[in-house]
Structures are given as C-alpha cells and as structure tokens.
Amino acid sequence: MTRVFNFSAGPAALPEPVLRQAADEMLDWHGSGMSVMEMSHRGKEFIAIHAEAETSLRELLGVPANYKVLFMQGGAMAENAIVPMNMLRGKSSADYINTGEWSKKSIKEAKKYAKVNVAATSEATNFDRIPLRDSWQLDPNAAYVHICSNETIGGVEYHFTPDVGDVPLVADMSSSIMSRPVEVAKYGLIYGGAQKNIGPAGVTIVVVRDDLIGQALPITPSAFDYKQQADNDSMLNTPPTYAIYIAGLVFNWIKGQGGLAGMEAHNRAKAALLYDALDASSFYTSPVARADRSLMNVPFKLRDEALDDAFLKGAQARSMFQLKGHRSVGGMRASIYNAMPVEGVKALVAYMKEFEATHG
Ligand SMILES: *Cc1c(COP(=O)(O)O)cnc(C)c1O
C-alpha cells in the first residue's frame, strides 16, 4: 500500500490513524456485529456515536452552553440558502462581505431570500485581501453580517474576528473550522461542510446561538429549519450517520494533537515553511497580501506558466497530488489542512527548490 501526499482542497486528506480505525471497525463496530453504516440512527449504538461527536466538537471549539450544535446535510452551498431562510427573523436585509469566490456564491444564493447589502468587497484588488474593518459600510438594521472566514480558492483568511456590534456575525468556516481556536461567543452562527478539516463529505456542521432560531421563513423546508433540527437532536430525518462517525474519530485525533491550540501550532509551522519558500524565490509568486494569507489553502503561481504542466507532472512523480490551482485562478494551490503532515509540506518545498534549480 502506498499513500501519497494529497494536497486536495476538498474532499481532502484525512488523518491516517482515523482511516485505520475506521477500517478495523468497518465490519463490526464495538461488538455490535454491524458496520456503523448499517445501524439505525435511532439505535443506542448510533445515538452514543452521535452524542460523543457532539460532545467532542463542543469541547474542542469551546462552544458555550447557549449554542446548539447541528449535524445537517447539503453542504455549505445549501447553507447559503438555509442561513437567510432561518436568520432573517422578520428583517428584510443582510450584510455580506465579499472576499472571493465563496463569498460570491453566498451572496448570489442569499439574494433569492433577502435584500443583500455588500458592505465591503476586495474585488478591486482581485480578492487579494480582507477589506479593512474600518471600511465596512454596515447597516445597523441588517439581520446579520456574513463573512467567509477562509476563501478556499483565493487563499485569503481572516486573522481577526470582526466586531459587528449587536448584529449577529455569521461565518462560513468550511475550510478553516477546527484548524485553530475560535471565539464562538463572538458569532451568532458558524457553519461549514466537513470535507476539508473534519471528515467525509455529507455532513455539515452548524453552531448557532439559541436566541436566533425559531423564526424561519414559512417556506423553509423542515429538514433545513434550525429549530426543528435542534428540537430533534439533528435527527428530524436520517442524518449522515457514517460521516458523523468519522467526524467523531477525527475529533478524537485532534484531541490527541493537543486540541485546536495544537492544531494551530502545527498549521502555522506548515504554512510558514511554504510561504517562506515562496517569498524567498522570484520564480514563484503568491497573489495574497501577507497579512491575510490563509493557513489552509496556499495558491501560488510559477512566473512562467508554460512550466505549469511540467511542475505538476514532476510533483506527481514524487507522490504529491492535487496541486493544480482552481480553474478560475490557474497556477497552483497547496491545501494543507489539519491532516497534512509537515513531511508533506517539506517534500513540496524541497521539490519547488529542485524545480526552480532545473527550470529557473
Ligand atoms: C468547499 C466550500 C464550500 C462548498 O461546500 P459544499 O459542501 O460543496 O457545499 C463553501 N464555502 C467554502 C468556504 C468552501 O471551502
């Protein structure tokens, strides 16, 4: 068996010990004689798996008692609609900060349900930064302020929690959740798909403050109504059971790495190796303003894009996969989520130097 260094932006690499444990438990989970995939979601075995995953998530993220944790379906893309359906609470408009491709998708979807005010955008500089907080034109009557904490495609990340006063802050954390500590109490709602840092595609994490739920638009599908899901422990309908089980194993793995503080140290060390290599070279360039560079997704370009194919081929020959940049931006992108070992980043940096020496 050979495992490669997988730099995919998502679905992404999972910790090897988690995959091994899942393999060991595949046919017979804890003497139940069944795979977790085959269990009733209402049976005591799965209820225990579900409860443990929620407890671990609460512990790791430090979720206050007045917040609900929901395991939903539909991914962040569905949340782009579910958020306005649930969060308008009698108001008509919401503020959105536009920092790139995922913000744009959120805005496009929200416009079906709400009046959207783009309170700040970095479009003029090709989404290379987070707009300075002082420049945001917030509306005090907005139902909420929406941000994308980490733009997975553009590689731009918030390294601060914006203060938006009494208006609830809503964050799409799909590609940064669990990568470092978060001050949950500063948010009204946090959501994210699991397939970047938490587990397999199929489960969406929602952390929402109690007082914000229960006023969904009448058109809201029941399965997408936060209050109904909260009242039913995320089991109004069949939840994505296997994905929740794997997420629970990943949470245990994160605890073993020193929790989110440990993950942050590990992620900062990896990102520093890669950004230092980019900054030390004129052969490669990083398109993102230094202060706002993502710890998770590192886009970069070769000055001569005619060499892109050769770079990718050479990377694959050295067991480094999925380094091609998103089709909308081109170049390269290294996604270095929690499960990417530092050895993977060291191998990439060594290869970048070697490639520059032979092609520069
Ligand atoms: C991946 C991603 C999404 C889309 O998630 P889906 O699960 O495909 O719906 C949305 N926002 C961000 C920031 C992402 O990284």
**What's the CA gap between 143 and 103, in Å, rounded?**
17
Q: What is the pLDDT along the chain (360 residues), one digit of tens a residue?
A: 889 999 999 999 999 999 999 999 999 999 999 999 999 999 999 999 999 999 999 999 999 999 999 999 999 999 999 999 999 999 999 999 999 999 999 999 999 999 999 999 999 999 999 999 999 999 999 999 999 999 999 999 999 999 999 999 999 999 999 999 999 999 999 999 999 999 999 999 999 999 999 999 999 999 999 999 999 999 999 999 999 999 999 999 999 999 999 999 999 999 999 999 999 999 999 999 999 999 999 999 999 999 999 999 999 999 999 999 999 889 999 999 999 999 999 999 999 999 999 998
Atom number, ligand 1, closest to the C-alpha of residue 195: 7
Active site residues: 102, 172, 196
Give the atom of ligand 1 at the shortest distance from the alpha carbon of 76.
9
Q: Ligand 1: which of 104, 151, 175, 203 to mutate, most ligand atoms within 8 Å of CB?
A: 175
270 and 302 in contact (C-beta within 8 Å)?
Answer: no
Paired tokens of 342: 């530092």
Give the tokens for residue 13.
Answer: 């690499």
Nearest residue (by CA) to ligand 1, atom 7, is 75
Q: pLDDT tens-digit profile of 126-153?
A: 999 999 999 999 999 999 999 999 999 9
Q: How many helices (H) and strands (E) does the chain have?
A: 9, 14
- Kindly report, residue by residue over 313-335, the tens digit of the pLDDT: 999 999 999 999 999 889 999 99
Q: Which residues contact 290 (CB under 8 A, 6 or more apart)?
A: none
Closest residue (by CA) to atom 6 of ligand 1? 75
| Atom from ligand 1 closest to the CA of residue 201 | 7
Residue listed under structure tokens 């998530």: 57
d(CA 12, CA 334): 11
Q: What is the pTM of this model?
A: 0.98
Task: Tell how far the Cα of 25 is from the centroid of ligand 1, in angstroms.
Answer: 29
CA of 286 to the centre of ligand 1 (A): 22
Ligand 1 centre to CA of 194 (Å) is 9
Cβ partners under 8 Å of residue 198, min gap 6:
177, 178, 192, 205, 247, 250, 251
Q: How far is the CA of 184 from the centre of ligand 1 (A)?
A: 20
Among 71, 72, 77, which residue has the most ligand 1 atoms within 8 Å of its CB, making it the best to mutate?
77
Distance 175 CA to ligand 1 centre (A): 7
Give the closest residue to 120 by CA, choosing from 94, 104, 138.
Answer: 138
Q: If we measure between CA atoms, which residue out of 10, 31, 8, 32 comes closest to residue 316?
A: 8
- Give kind and range of the element (H or E) at residue 121: strand 115-121
Backbone dihedral region of 330: left (phi > 0), alpha (psi from -120 to 50 degrees) or beta? left
Cα(219) to centroid of ligand 1, in Å?
A: 24
Q: Are strands 93-98 and 115-121 parallel, antiparallel or unpaired?
A: parallel
d(CA 195, CA 113): 27
Q: Whose CA is nearest to atom 2 of ligand 1?
A: 174
Check: CB of residue 22 under 8 Å from CB of residue 345.
no
CB 299 within 8 A of CB 325: yes
- Domains along the sequence of the chain with CATH: 16-256 (3.40.640.10), 258-359 (3.90.1150.10)
- Mutational pocket test of ligand 1: of 104, 172, 174, the residue with most ligand atoms within 8 Å of the beta carbon: 174
In which region does residue 95 sit, left (phi positive, over 0), alpha (psi from -120 to 50) or beta (all else)? Answer: beta
Nearest residue (by CA) to ligand 1, atom 5, is 76
Which residues have any ligand 1 atom within 6 Å of their CB? 10, 75-77, 102, 148, 152, 172, 174-175, 193, 196
